[in-house]
A and B are shown apart, each in its own frame.
Chain A
Amino acid sequence: MEISFSPLWLSLKLATITTCILLVLGIFIVYLIHFKLKGYWLVSFVKSIVSLPLVLPPTVLGYYLLVAFNPDSILGSLFEELFNIQLVFSFAGILLGSVIFSLPFIVNPILSAVENLPAYYEDAAYTLGKTQWQTFTKVMLPNIKSSVIVGITMSFAHTIGEFGVILMIGGNIPDETRVASIAIYNEVEMLNYDSANFYSVILLIFSLAVLFFVNFFNSRKNNINL
């Protein structure tokens, strides 16, 4: 049995970069929703868009992303002209797809923690002359650290396990888009059950470990010494 470690490294690389982008993007979106859009109907719209990947079949999202990433489309041609990057069937494409697909896993826990913080922290910071951004970064985020960590972990794990969207927009190109979940599918198709089993066991152990960590962390959340 000859096993390539490339799908595992690719999954790790994809999940790491996706999570880094999501951390910045997720925090910015939470700031936008909580401070700039509060009270407007747009809040419900933005929240719905962010949560859409939770309910949409991955093939539907994958199909629309495939159409949007097409070199003839506005987004596809823009990426090609500006960065000389082709989005369809490329690592850049599955990265962008993963960011969109895993967005709710980082935004929702952070947003819900921000909304559950007592309003007097925010009010107190304003009366001390602090701006909304200072209040958010210096007062609110440090007090919901545990939710940020849960968000990071969940979006990392979810990206590792993503299959449908990646297959739709990335296909099955070795060293480019064949991540671990795609490799399992590929090995089964080729009747290489030993290899499929190897990748599956690793993903199973990894997913279990992540869920255990999140649950353990959540149960200790109230006792964490900030």
Chain B
Amino acid sequence: MLQFSFKKKLHHHSGQLQFRLSASLPANSVTAIMGGSGEGKTSLLKMFAGLLKPDEGYLKINDACWYDSVKKINLVPQKRSIGFLFQEYALFPNMTVKENLTFALSKEDRNADIVNELLEIIDLKALENIKPTHLSGGQQQRVALARAVIRKPKLLLLDEPLSALDNQLRDRLQQDLKLLLAKYPTTVLIVTHDAAEAIRLADHIIIVDEGKLKTFGKIKDVLGTNLEKNGGIDAEVISIDSSQNTMQILLGDSLFTINIPSIGSLPEEGDRIKINADNWKLN
């Protein structure tokens, strides 16, 4: 069980933001934290990690207290059992892939088994002696993820893990993350601004708005409700072919051609529309 309550005044590009958030999360759950940019999501992860001190609040994981402003407890990051995947990967350029992983282990734990095991899961055994600057973005991300879990942390913090990757690499990292979590279960917090990323990776969701908790719950309940309220999925009309009675729409990153429905008014190019499925088939 992860329980936390943080209050912190943050400096924001449009002024100050009074950040106030508390929640209790089940052990070994994967929770996505969503919100617009500048909502203090990365600052929140840093507060969990002990890299940023909240003004008030507490942080308890299982029975251990990592931070309590009343009892004046504030464990340094080194004393918290955490893994942190930074948005910029933060792999050390002077070390090879293997050295980046080995460095994360303490001297007594520095056996090759776990390093080799992780290198095999992320499928980078062949590149273990390469420096990170020579790897692609997706490969660096996977090394950074392996490094974040190698110490078997009680809390794994992921800062926008999929945002910089293309679709194919997203699937790959998602698959690696699932394998790693199956092998080393832990409580995970994922910061994201992308609903698809949250749905792909998490089982719970916290939505932050203006630095405060807006919604918290199981991801399917929360995002499902949103979908109902919205009445469909947002898409943009790119072009209309009246002769074929079809139109091209942009849905997420993909372009689709659909039949123009016979009922309702005809959309124009550039219109934003809501799509509801009334027919589907399983491949």
CB proximity of B281 to chain A, nearest CB, Å: 46
Give the contacting residue for A126; candidates B51, B93, B148, B151; CB below 8 A.
B51
Task: From known contacts A129-B78, A130-B78, infer whether A124 and B86 are also in contact, taking CB-CB under 8 Å.
Answer: yes
Whether the pair A138, B76 counts as a contact (CB closer than 8 A) is no
Q: Is the CB of A39 closer than 8 A to any CB of chain B?
A: no
CA distance in complex: A143, B92 (Å): 8
Q: Is the CB of A44 closer than 8 A to any CB of chain B?
A: no
**A-B CB contact pairs (8 Å), 12 listed:** A120-B86, A124-B92, A126-B51, A126-B78, A127-B49, A127-B83, A127-B84, A129-B78, A129-B104, A130-B103, A143-B92, A226-B94
Q: Is the CB of A174 closer than 8 A to any CB of chain B?
A: no
Q: Which of A123, A127, A138, A142 has the most CB of B within 10 A?
A: A127
CA distance in complex: A118, B50 (Å): 18
A124 — which chain B residues lie within 8 A by C-beta? Answer: 84, 86, 90, 92
CA distance in complex: A142, B104 (Å): 16
Whether the pair B78, A123 counts as a contact (CB closer than 8 A) is no
A127 — which chain B residues lie within 8 A by C-beta? Answer: 49, 51, 77, 82-84, 148
A125 — which chain B residues lie within 8 A by C-beta? Answer: 92
Whether the pair A121, B92 counts as a contact (CB closer than 8 A) is yes
A226 — which chain B residues lie within 8 A by C-beta? Answer: 93-94, 131
A82 — which chain B residues lie within 8 A by C-beta? Answer: none
A112 — which chain B residues lie within 8 A by C-beta? Answer: none
Q: Is the CB of A218 closer than 8 A to any CB of chain B?
A: no
Q: Is the CB of A192 closer than 8 A to any CB of chain B?
A: no
CB proximity of A226 to chain B, nearest CB, Å: 5
Closest to A138 in B: B103
Interface residues of B, count at CB 8 A: 23
Q: Is the CB of B106 closer than 8 A to any CB of chain A?
A: yes
| B interface residues, Cβ below 8 angstroms from A | 46, 49-51, 76-78, 82-84, 86, 88, 90, 92-94, 103-104, 106, 131, 147-148, 151
B104 — which chain A residues lie within 8 A by C-beta? Answer: 128-129
CA distance in complex: A143, B148 (Å): 21
Q: Which of B50, B76, B86, B90 has the most CB of A within 10 A?
A: B90
CB proximity of B244 to chain A, nearest CB, Å: 51
Whether the pair A121, B131 counts as a contact (CB closer than 8 A) is no
Interface residues of A, count at CB 8 A: 18
A121 — which chain B residues lie within 8 A by C-beta? Answer: 90, 92
Closest to B147 in A: A128
B93 — which chain A residues lie within 8 A by C-beta? Answer: 143, 226
Q: Is the CB of A131 closer than 8 A to any CB of chain B?
A: yes
CA distance in complex: A127, B49 (Å): 7
CB proximity of B108 to chain A, nearest CB, Å: 12
Whether the pair A139, B84 counts as a contact (CB closer than 8 A) is no
Whether the pair A120, B90 counts as a contact (CB closer than 8 A) is yes
CA distance in complex: A176, B77 (Å): 53
Contact with B along A126-170 (1 / 0, CB 8 A): 111111000000110011000000000000000000000000000
A118 — which chain B residues lie within 8 A by C-beta? Answer: 88, 90
Closest to A120 in B: B90
B83 — which chain A residues lie within 8 A by C-beta? Answer: 127
CB proximity of B208 to chain A, nearest CB, Å: 21
Give the contacting residue for A129; candidates B51, B86, B106, B148; CB below 8 A.
B106
Whether the pair A129, B94 counts as a contact (CB closer than 8 A) is no
8 A Cβ contacts from A87-136 to B: 118, 120-121, 123-131
CB proximity of B150 to chain A, nearest CB, Å: 8
CB proximity of A97 to chain B, nearest CB, Å: 36
CB proximity of B31 to chain A, nearest CB, Å: 19
A129 — which chain B residues lie within 8 A by C-beta? Answer: 78, 104, 106, 151
Task: From known contacts A139-B94, A226-B131, infer whether A128 and B103 are also in contact, taking CB-CB under 8 Å.
Answer: yes
Q: Which of A126, A130, A143 has the most CB of B within 10 A?
A: A126
